[in-house]
Structure 1
Amino acid sequence: MGANAAPKTVGGAPMYPAKDIIDNAVNSRDHTTLVAAVKAAGLVDTLKGNGPFTVFAPTNTAFSALPAGTVDTLLKPENKSTLTQVLTYHVVPGKVDAASLSQQIRAGGGKAMLKTASGGTLTASMRGKDVLITDSKGNAAVVTTADVYQSNGVIHVVDKVLMPS
């Protein structure tokens, strides 16, 4: 991204590469559920840390597609460990941008295995021009906005919530 390039816009807000993941995400109107979940899980300080982190960030629409009551249940204090596991399943340590991910998919014969911060695995693949991120249950999310660079990593917006096994 050149010095004069405009920042990407996500959820109606510019995502500034000089800001960290949290400082950008709080401004996206498409990620209010994700931000609330990150706060409830106590992961704000982690995602404000040095990283680098690659975050597959589900939209509010992705969260609302979960079975009724799922989000409310996950946000309850007694379910903090489950919520943390779900959220950290969307985080891959390191900075994996679209070019790097495409290279890993090609090198893997059409699939790249990504180890998540929760200890699980996500599978990245291509369907036409779309990058798919598949969870351990076989549910595939499409990357709808790639390479939203942050000071401590990169965000890829996805259209589904990924669930660990």
Structure 2
Amino acid sequence: MDDRIEALLSDVEAMHASREAHARRGELSDEVAVHAAQRTLLERMRGAIGQPVQVVVAAREISGTAVFLGDGIFVIAGIEATIVTIDWIREIRTRSRRHRYETGPLERLGMASALRRLASDHEEISLELAGEGGAIRGRSDMVASDYIEISGRIIPHRSIALVQARVNPFA
């Protein structure tokens, strides 16, 4: 009979320990959820700088190393440097789980700055336009604050999904 009482007490203790562990996991889960709710996509992208990434824009996937995060742009170095407009990104994959909170000193530079730097080096670039806009290849004739003139066409910056060039404009 003593064995049955000991077994019953062991079961009760195990059940109590299990409930406490479950409650602690629930509290931890709630704490993790609250912490995650405060994080942003830009912080996650900042944490991926220097890491391999895959970015899906429209129907294309761009792979390489994340090298720069600017005002509305994410630069990926691969076979070519790709300047991706953040608003046109559909998906990002990275092995990095880091978030970086502090902004870099050059993070205020955006698409116009990248295009101006490429134009000053007389680099040939390829613009991929959002939606069904297609692609335009050439050297820019002029870069204004909100548009670029290239191959006789005036393209608003907001229409550019990505830019590809041989060199990273922020290197």
TM over 0.5: no
- Pick the structure with greater CA Rg: 2
TM-score, normalization by structure 1: 0.25
Q: Which has the higher contact order (CA 8 A, sep 6+)?
A: 1
TM-score, normalization by structure 2: 0.25
Structure number with the higher strand fraction is 2
